[in-house]
Amino acid sequence: MKISIILASGKLESYYIDAIQEYNKRLSSYCKIKLFQCKNVKEAEKKIPKNSYVIQISTSNTLISSEFLASKLNSFAVSGVSNIAIVFNFPCSFVDEIISISSLKMCDGLLLTIIYEQIYRAFRIINNQAYHK
């Protein structure tokens, strides 16, 4: 499974970059995950791989649980969806699903860290593994 996380603009603080790198390392056993930091919306939309299932992160829809994300990723694996694109902080014109992870406004780095932590947590849940390495 390939997961592309696509961000239009937004400077990330160094501690969030460190956190993302750590989850990136932990996730290497489960999937290929790549972060694309783009300059603008046009560039960001181009980074969405063809045939991807596109998930937009929003703060205004129904909030998901960690278990919901795990069952979602599991259903992708079962049904053969191999490219997932997660887009946030820009209005993408072709989206398959919108999910909310918090009702709070947050800076991009923190939101991104939560997404990485939750994807890692989801793979641990799918594989019946305890949270920590």
Residues 65-104 that bind a copy of itself (CB under 8 A): 65-66, 101-104
**Main-chain phi, psi angles of 87, to 5 degrees:** -115, 140
- Residue with smaller CB distance to a copy of itself, 39 or 105: 105
The verdict on 22 binding a copy of itself (CB under 8 A) reads: yes
117 scored as a contact of a copy of itself (CB under 8 A): yes
Instruction: Work out the end-to-end distance of the chain between its first and last CA atoms, rounded to an integer number of angstroms.
Output: 20
3-state SS of the chain: helix, strand, coil percent to 5?
A: 40, 25, 35
Q: Phi and psi of 21, rounded to 5°? A: -60, -40
CB-wise, 51 or 128, nearer to a copy of itself?
128
> What does the block give as tokens for 41?
């919306």
- Binding interface with a copy of itself (CB under 8 A): 13-16, 18-19, 22, 63-66, 101-107, 110, 113-114, 117-118, 121, 131
